[in-house]
Amino acid sequence: MGFILPDAADADSPLKFDELQVLRAQYEKEGYYVGVQTKFNYAWGLIKSSTRNEQQEGVRLLSDIFRNAPERRRECLYYLALGNYKLGNYAEARRYNDLLLDHEPANLQASSLRGLIDDKVAKEGLMGVAILSGVAIAAGVVGGMLFKGARRR
């Protein structure tokens, strides 16, 4: 039996409303002087949300930490990858996840997330091909009908 990677469990497990409220209250309480750890905790909770606006805010906060707190970059990478994955920004998700895997090749969560990203990209790529094929067929049918109609005149 092969080795099974753990799921990127955070992808679909939002915090309870009350749990997120605790993180939000602490973040708001600290106001302008919010600490990096408080901001990170709140961003983490937002990333886990099932609400797109909250996920976007989480990515924004993590991006801010990533830019302004070099000592915290590594721990931001996974959640930036996860947040972008959940938002459908697969190229950004892959970029952050690959940066993490460059530093930690044995990181099982990042490896699992890479699989989720690759699956989504492949699935959406196939959907794109199917849509383009359908459009091409429809254009061919319409073109054929127009051509037939023009020949009858």
Burial (CB count within 10 angstroms: exposed 0-12, middle 13-18, buried 19+), residue 44: buried
Which of 101, 98, 94 has its CA nearest to residue 116?
A: 94
Tens digit of pLDDT for each residue in 3-36? 344 456 556 789 999 999 999 999 999 999 999 9
Tens digit of pLDDT for each residue in 53-105? 999 999 999 999 999 999 999 989 999 999 999 999 999 999 999 999 999 99
Residue 2: per-residue pLDDT: 41
How many C-beta atoms surround the C-beta of residue 18 within 10 A? 7
Residue predicted with more confidence, 121 or 21:
21
Cβ atoms of 137 and 31 closer than 8 Å: no
What's the pLDDT band for 145 if we cut at 50, 70, 90?
Answer: low
Does this model's pTM top 0.85? My answer is no
Residue 8: per-residue pLDDT: 65
Residue 89's contacts (CB-CB under 8 Å, 6 or more residues apart) are none
Return the structure tokens found at 47: 């990333």
Please identify which residue in the block is written with the tokens 């993490």.
Answer: 100
Which of 141, 112, 131 has its CA nearest to residue 12?
A: 112
How many C-beta atoms surround the C-beta of residue 126 within 10 A? 10
Residue predicted with more confidence, 125 or 133:
125
Report, as an integer, the average pLDDT of 34-42: 96
